[in-house]
Amino acid sequence: MPSIIYELQKTCPHTGARAGLLHTPHGTFQTPMFMPVGTQATVKTMTPEELKAMGSQVILSNTYHLFLRPGPELVEEAGGLHKFMNWDQAILTDSGGFQVFSLGDMRKITEDGVTFRSHIDGSKQFLSPEVATKVQEQLGSDIAMAFDECIPYPADHDYAKRSTARTTRWAHRCQEARKAHDRQGMFGIVQGGMYKDLRKQSAEELVAMDFEGYSIGGLSVGEPHDLMNEILEYTTPLLPTNKARYLMGVGTADCLVEGVTRGVDMFDCVYPTRVARNGMAMTWNGRLNIRNAQFAHDWGPLEEGCQCYTCKNYSRAYIRHLYKAEEILALRLVTYHNLYFLLEFMRQMRQAILEDRFPQFRMQFWDSFKK
């Protein structure tokens, strides 16, 4: 009995957009969904209660970071990630491959796995399909990712072909390494670079391995948005409609609406939390940097009409003051608003799909976004 079950509720008759439910061992959650990122077992500056209050359902954590610090054994000793970080809803962990390439130093890829230097203390480390699978089991996440190589952009066809074939072999090894256990589902990650023939082969071979869900990897790696959408448009129909689809590393409103349009159910991105720490607030008309002098006497909320805790209780002038004074509360208030903004954006897209008006929602979004 798979532990992760996707229940399709409604497909938009005009686009690939769909609304559904994701059943996990820690509850049932609504899609399309945005998943806040908690790299080191915390969504930076937010408490679990605040995350729940704003409507977070599934949050992310990371094999790479927790493997290096504090180590999977300590998290296991705590009774797993849910207990360790006091989060009783669902947790998804990435398998670490992506971070090795974007964070680790001096890395070497072989058929067996990846050798790299820790970005924390420079120590020599090794991750493989077997290690990444074991670590995610020790972390006890509800959804684990197969160990993959995220192909950089650009990459030539030959490199993409060889890398994708190895990712498929690694996916098979992950399936082998997973003891018959019912508490954790694993998603296969489709690669293939920007090549449709390789995307098709990757998707078909992973679907044959019957994962509980499928991530579309190797996107949001610096390619133009049009190219990302083109690859997405080609890839999602290759995936089974009765399984969840997760587009990795995507989290700005314009990319989210285009991902939902092409049938994606789940998204994650560090963007909303990362830019908040730099004073950037996300709004329906694009983003604003609250540290800007123009807000010094602005007594309105970050965004008119936003129902979030920050917008209901604090002015732009006050938040700008907090940033200028390097007060920690500044980071918390803008992080809260940015996450709330994206979660609310997903709720509105889900509602539009359920009420058969998603194309209109998408058109309205682009009209105001383009302004």
Ligand X SMILES: CNc1nc2c(CCNCC3CCCC3)c3nc(N)[nH]c(=O)c3cc2[nH]1
- 148 is in the binding site of which of ligand X, Zn ion, none (Cβ under 5 to 8 A by kind)? ligand X
Count of residues interacting with Zn ion (CB under 5 A): 5
Name the residue among 56, 16, 10 with its Cα closest to residue 259: 16
Report the sign of the C-alpha dihedral through residues 347, 353, 357, 358, in that order: positive
- 257 is in the binding site of which of Zn ion, ligand X, none (Cβ under 5 to 8 A by kind)? none
Span from 157-165, 213-221, 304-312, 346-354 in contact with ligand X (CB under 6 A)? 213-221
308 binds Zn ion (CB under 5 A): yes
Report the sign of the C-alpha dihedral through residues 137, 84, 117, 119, in that order: positive
308 labeled part of a ligand binding site = yes
94 is catalytic: yes
> Which two three-digit tokens encode residue 295?
């807000």
Active-site residue (options: 88, 94, 142, 158): 94
Span from 118-126, 214-222, 287-295, 358-366 in contact with ligand X (CB under 6 A)? 214-222
Q: Please give the Cα distance from 55 to 57 (Å, whole number).
A: 6
Report the sign of the C-alpha dihedral through residues 243, 249, 251, 257, in that order: negative
218 labeled part of a ligand binding site = yes
Q: Min. distance of Cβ 369 from ligand X in angstroms? A: 20
Span from 13-21, 122-130, 170-178, 215-223 in contact with ligand X (CB under 6 A)? 215-223
With CB under 6 A as the contact rule, the residue among 56, 95, 201, 310 that binds ligand X is 95
Spatial contact of 317 and 295, defined as CB atoms under 8 Å apart? yes
- Closer residue to ligand X (CB): 85 or 145: 145
Q: Please give the Cα distance from 69 to 66 (Å, whole number).
A: 5
Annotated binding site for substrate: 94-98, 148, 191, 218
Give the interface with ligand X as residue ranges (CB under 6 A).
Answer: 37, 39, 60, 62, 94-95, 97-98, 145, 148, 150, 189, 217-218, 220-221, 248-249, 268, 270
